[in-house]
């Protein structure tokens, strides 16, 4: 059974760096064709794609957030890590990681399954 689980702080202050970890089970992030993406959802709004990390260490990012995002591999936990710098109040929301078997999500593909999500609040 494939599962993903997000972990990290639930409260961060403006200008700080947010670091979230996605631990996966039931598949290896080193397996060919696999990608783990990050998607966030502000309260009451639709999901927003942030970026993706592929099995071959390739990464893709949302154009609007690229300058603030880094996604890396956490081999010890068979997962990926999302780092978002200089957070602001508008970054408040539920952050999800999700698996894709698409080899290029920018040309098509879907996410599933998703983790349960972690609600991150940005507040001073």
Partner 1 sequence: NLLLTQPHSMSEFPGKTVSISCTRNSGTFAGDYVQWYQQRPGSAPTIVMYDNNQRPSGVPDRFTVSIDSSSNSASLIISGLQTDDEADYYCQSSDGNNVVFGGGTKLTVL
Q: Which is nearer to partner 1, 79 or 115 (CB)?
A: 115
Q: Which is nearer to partner 1, 3 or 16 (CB)?
A: 3
Q: Which is nearer to partner 1, 73 or 115 (CB)?
A: 115
The torsion of the CA quartet 28, 33, 34, 38, rounded to 10 degrees, works out to: 150
Distance in Å, CB of 98 to partner 1, minimum: 8
Residues of this chain that interact with partner 1 (CB under 8 A) are: 37, 39, 45-49, 62-63, 96, 98, 105-117
The answer to whether 21 and 8 have CB atoms below 8 angstroms apart is yes
Residues in CB range of 10: below 8 A, 6 or more apart? 118, 119, 120, 121
């Amino acid at each position: 059974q494939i599962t993903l689980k997000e972990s990290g702080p639930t409260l961060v202050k403006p200008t700080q760096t947010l670091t979230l970890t996605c631990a996966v089970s039931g598949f290896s992030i080193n397996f060919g064709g696999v990608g783990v993406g990050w998607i966030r959802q502000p309260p009451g709004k639709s999901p927003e794609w942030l970026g993706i990390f592929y099995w071959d260490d390739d990464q893709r990012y949302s154009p609007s957030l690229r300058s603030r995002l880094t996604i890396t591999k956490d081999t010890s936990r068979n997962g990926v890590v999302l780092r978002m710098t200089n957070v602001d109040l508008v970054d408040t929301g539920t952050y999800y990681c999700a698996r894709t078997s698409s080899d290029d999500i920018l040309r098509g593909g879907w996410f599933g399954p998703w983790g349960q999500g972690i609600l991150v609040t940005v507040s001073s």
